Amino acid sequence: MTVSKNDKGLWDVQFYYKDYRGKNTKKHKRNFRTKKEAVEWANKYIDQQSHNLDMDFSSFWQLYREDMKERLRENTIRTKNYIMELKVLPYFGDKKIAQITAADIRRWQNSLMKEGYSPTYLKTINNQLSALFNYAVRYYDLPSNPCQKAGSMGKGRAEEMQFWTQEEFETFIDALKDKPVSYCAFMTLYWTGVRLGELLALSLADFDAEKKTLSITKSYQRINGRDVITEPKTAKGKRIISLPDFLVAELEEYVSRLYGMMAGNRLFMITKSYLEKEMKRGAELSGVKKIRLHDLRHSHASLLISKLGVQPKLVSERLGHEKIQTTLDTYSHLYPDQSRNLADQLNCLVDGSDEEGGENNAGKT
């Protein structure tokens, strides 16, 4: 390693390291304020490239982020950055990644639990840290994930899931008939269960009035003032949703007002913020309870399960869940009645055979 002053009076460092192919590669980094900073940066870089878990947590986080940003959606990386920078690095940043114990994790969890965050947010924070340690176990030979030994914190979902019944939604939607874009957007959200990003990414070409379908192939996000179109949240997020006749008619009428629309243009040129304001306006005008935009997805699932008795597999496919277990875990509280109904139907089979004259059938196989 060579460390020297440059013509600006700052420090440069040059060194060789083995890259992922085992090849010696030269690295030159310029303009450090002190010689000590230059040496520390070089040592951390060499540790990262050599898979040496003697590096500190902050260095490993940088390595993890660089790898994952090529594999995850931009908004997912932004969420990871936010949580790590504010909730994790201040506590673990200077600790050696290989020396962080389950006891350290427990103390960190306890410090966050005192802050009064919601159970679901605590769970999200913990999951981000655990994901990083899982990465270290899988690719850098860390013996074990200390988060697993420490146990989790928070809860995966809120105690009470909010949703609108069909009657509540119909009361709400009547209050929004003065704005066609709001009316049609909320009709689509409630009667299809699509995610908000999926709704906002819909183009004219995705609506097939003849086949009565919506093709879900992408998701929309607004990031740093930019419109960003990405893949759906899950691999099974790409799906075709069958539409009821009344929703097809509403969409056809809405589309007929969009003069000059091209096939690739977005159907709903609005934002999440706009819909949140319209949801608040509609709830206040109609008097129905306030719920979140995402709760319209829960409302659709509740409608399918509680009112129509749709089985988990079909609900999972319609919602675009990656696994049917996600559907079961999220909506398990809606299925007990279905189990009771099944038992009642079995009773009917036995009762029905008796009524038809069991004596005449006695001895028959």
The CATH number that applies at residue 151 is: 1.10.150.130
Q: How many domains does one find in the chain?
A: 2
Say how many CA atoms lie within 13 Å of 37 toward its Cβ.
Answer: 10
For the segment 42-60, the average pLDDT, to the nearest whole number, is 75
* pLDDT band (50, 70, 90) for residue 300: very high
Helix axes 312-319, 324-331, angle to 10 degrees: 100
| Same domain as 239, residue 93 | no
Domain assignment present for 229: yes
pLDDT of res. 52: 62
- Give the separation between CA 108 and CA 117, rounded to whole angstroms: 14
Q: Domain of 272: which CATH number?
A: 1.10.443.10
- Give the separation between CA 131 and CA 196, rounded to whole angstroms: 26
Terminus-to-terminus CA distance in the chain, angstroms?
Answer: 89
Q: Are strands 226-230 and 2-5 parallel, antiparallel or unpaired?
A: unpaired
For the segment 236-248, the average pLDDT, to the nearest whole number, is 94
| Same domain as 178, residue 154 | no
Domain assignment present for 145: yes
pLDDT exceeds cutoff 50 at 178: yes
Range of the domain at 154: 75-159
What are the beta bridge partners of residue 228? Answer: 221
pTM for the model: 0.64
Domain assignment present for 6: no
Most confident by average pLDDT, 43-57, 200-214, 229-243, 253-267: 200-214
Which tens digits make up the pLDDT trace of 8-26? Answer: 889 888 887 665 456 777 8
Domain assignment present for 11: no
Q: What percent of the chain has pLDDT over 70?
A: 88
Phi, psi for 286 (deg, rounded to 5): -90, -25
Which of 159, 189, 216 terminates a domain? The answer is: 159
Which of 126, 159, 192 terminates a domain? The answer is: 159
- Give the separation between CA 190 and CA 176, rounded to whole angstroms: 14
pLDDT exceeds cutoff 60 at 365: no
- C-alpha gyration radius of the chain: 28
| Same domain as 249, residue 110 | no
For the segment 162-175, the average pLDDT, to the nearest whole number, is 94
- Give the separation between CA 54 and CA 60, rounded to whole angstroms: 10
Domain assignment present for 59: no
pLDDT of res. 301: 92
Quick count: other Cβ atoms within 10 Å of Cβ 349?
8
